[in-house]
Amino acid sequence: MQTERYWPMVDEEKKSLMESIHQLCVAEIAPRAKHHDETGEFPTAIVSKLAEMGMMGMMVDEKWGGAGLDVATYAMAMEEVSAACASSGVIMSVNNSLVCWPISEYGNDAQKEKWLKPLAQGQKLGCFALSEPGHGSDPAGLQCRAVKVPGGYKINGSKNWITNGKEADTCILFATIDPALKHKGICAFVVDTKIKGYIVSKLEDKLGITASSTAALFFEDMFVPDECLLGKEGDGFKVAMSTLDGGRIGIAAQALGIARCALEASKQFATEREQFGAPISKLQAIQFHLADMTTRLQAARLLTWHAAVKKQAGVKYSQDAAMAKLSASESAMWIATKAIQVHGGYGYTKEYVVERNFRDAKITEIYEGTSEIQRLVIAAEELRKS
């Protein structure tokens, strides 16, 4: 855990909130992280604590049960939680960015009252179901079908890689009224996961973030009433893409937390471990590793905060979010790899946290858009400027 705490852009009141979040992470989340990683047990007690502190709906207006905080404070909180437990970080990120945000942005008042309030208060948990077995990076071609019937839609199809898929009470679900329409046929729905026809069909056995569930979902003649449609018919792709822009800031912040944990562990190890008659932190070879790790972490952090400030300002930030996620996730993987190198053989064992950091970092280069997709977004936005 980081000893020096630096939260710019926040006033005194928010600094004290950040201090409380940090204390919660040190005292209650970090000590349980190894257990959750080893057992894969969902961190129910941690999620309840996060909910108590208003961290499951951080950016949601207080009127709808949220904490009414800004995006940068959310990113800093995400980094804190993820430095302690990356599984808890992604559970929190999905609920905040991928579930509360689209309902806040595209939902009507009745939808906000019914769905958003309990999600933002942490009484309910959400998941975001876009990806399918044959459509991960290319969601415009998704096949899950919504057929209009009196009073609503009948939904059939399947989804893959759904974080929180096992525990979620509410699902933001994307389905098409006609696959031939490609992205223009996609609709977004807010769905109660307990309804008939909603089936959690498989849970993935994963390399990292083992305490967060990743599920395959299956929908069999599932009736969803008209009032569950988010936005208008055909708005779904825009809902998904704009939601993922914000989600990428959350995952960038998660990656920062994982990287920070690896760096802190490496610093501690390097000052305690002696070789050639002195702590290895005295060796320039180790100092160079630590210097590069620190620099890459801070560069990624500044990109993440910059994207958060732009989102908060209400200006287009798709490219900034993609740059933040690309930089933070690739830096996290790189820093975690270096951290194992600093630890030598010890770093390759489960006794040291850097082994978990290494496994947890990898997913940040994949979910909510792979690094290759982030590069596509960055290049497309850059070419648009010329």
Residue (245 or 360) nearer to ligand CAA, CB: 245
Residue in 64, 237, 317, 334 binding ligand CAA, rule: CB under 6 A: 237
Residue (1 or 322) nearer to ligand CAA, CB: 322
Cα–Cα distance between 170 and 211 in angstroms, integer?
A: 19
Q: Could you list the beta-strand ranges (E) of 6-144.
A: 126-129
Residues 312-331 within binding reach of ligand CAA (CB under 6 A): 318
Cα–Cα distance between 350 and 195 in angstroms, integer?
A: 41
Cα–Cα distance between 262 and 329 in angstroms, integer?
A: 13
Residues 358-377 within binding reach of ligand CAA (CB under 6 A): 367-369, 373, 376-377
365: closest CA among 254, 284, 280? Answer: 254
What H or E segment, with its residue span, contains residue 385? helix 371-385
Selecting among 41, 80, 368, 372, the annotated active-site residue is: 368
Q: Which residues pair with 159 in a beta bridge?
A: 217
Q: Are 266 and 291 in contact (CB under 8 A)?
A: no
Degrees to nearest 5, angle at CA 258 with 275 and 344:
20
- Residue 141 CB, shortest distance to ligand CAA, in Å, is 8
CA 341 centroid distance within chain: 27
> Is residue 130 at the binding interface for ligand CAA, with CB under 6 A as the rule?
yes
Query: x/- string (CB under 6 A) for ligand CAA, residues 196-235?
Result: ----------------------------------------
> Is residue 85 at the binding interface for ligand CAA, with CB under 6 A as the rule?
no
Cα–Cα distance between 165 and 88 in angstroms, integer?
A: 14
- Residue 137 CB, shortest distance to ligand CAA, in Å, is 5
> Is residue 242 at the binding interface for ligand CAA, with CB under 6 A as the rule?
yes
> Is residue 162 at the binding interface for ligand CAA, with CB under 6 A as the rule?
yes
Q: Are 131 and 138 in contact (CB under 8 A)?
A: no
Please confirm, yes or no, whether 368 is among the known catalytic residues: yes
> Is residue 238 at the binding interface for ligand CAA, with CB under 6 A as the rule?
yes
Active-site amino acid positions: 368
Q: Which residues bind ligand CAA (CB under 6 A)?
A: 94, 128, 130-131, 137-140, 161-163, 183, 237-238, 241-242, 244-245, 318, 367-369, 373, 376-377
